[in-house]
């Protein structure tokens, strides 16, 4: 029972704090913004790397169609001394060969498909 409650708490917490960065929001972040302000606005990044005095935050936006991810946008924010000095975005479309053929079929729900005669 405790495990079930922990899973429920994590799910509800993710829904309540699940902030997401969009393309428009990404471009509205001015250079010089502090790290704390970015985390407060968009939540924790998906990944963080640190090297040679630079800290990079990575956020991912997934655009979906139903349950399929059709496009992913990767936002990179580079901080030096706690301030944003560089940012970049890349995007990736899911190649058609990675899509499940069952997902690509038209579904008719409870209806029967139309006759092809």
What pLDDT is stored for residue 9 in this prediction? 39
Q: How far apart are the first and last CA of the chain?
A: 56
Note whether 73 and 104 are within 8 A (CB): no
Q: What letter does residue 78 receive in the DSSP assignment?
A: E
pLDDT at 28 over 80: yes
| C-alpha triplet 61, 63, 65: angle, nearest 5° | 160
Locate 55 and state its tokens.
């800290």
Express as a percent the part of the chain with pLDDT over 70: 63
What pLDDT is stored for residue 1 in this prediction? 52
Instruction: Name the helix (H) or strand (E) containing 46.
Output: none
Locate 19 and state its tokens.
């902030």
Q: Is the pTM of this model over 0.85?
A: no
């Amino acid at each position: 029972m405790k495990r079930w409650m922990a899973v429920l708490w994590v799910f509800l917490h993710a829904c309540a704090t699940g902030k997401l960065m969009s393309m428009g929001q990404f471009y509205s972040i001015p250079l010089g913004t502090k790290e704390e302000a970015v985390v407060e606005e968009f939540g924790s990044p998906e990944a963080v790397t640190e090297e040679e005095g630079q800290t990079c935050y990575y956020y991912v936006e997934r655009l979906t169609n139903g349950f399929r991810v059709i496009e992913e946008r990767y936002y990179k924010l580079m901080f030096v001394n706690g301030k944003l000095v560089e940012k970049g975005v890349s995007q990736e479309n899911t190649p058609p060969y990675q899509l499940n053929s069952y997902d690509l079929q038209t579904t008719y729900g409870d209806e029967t498909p139309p006759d092809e005669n």
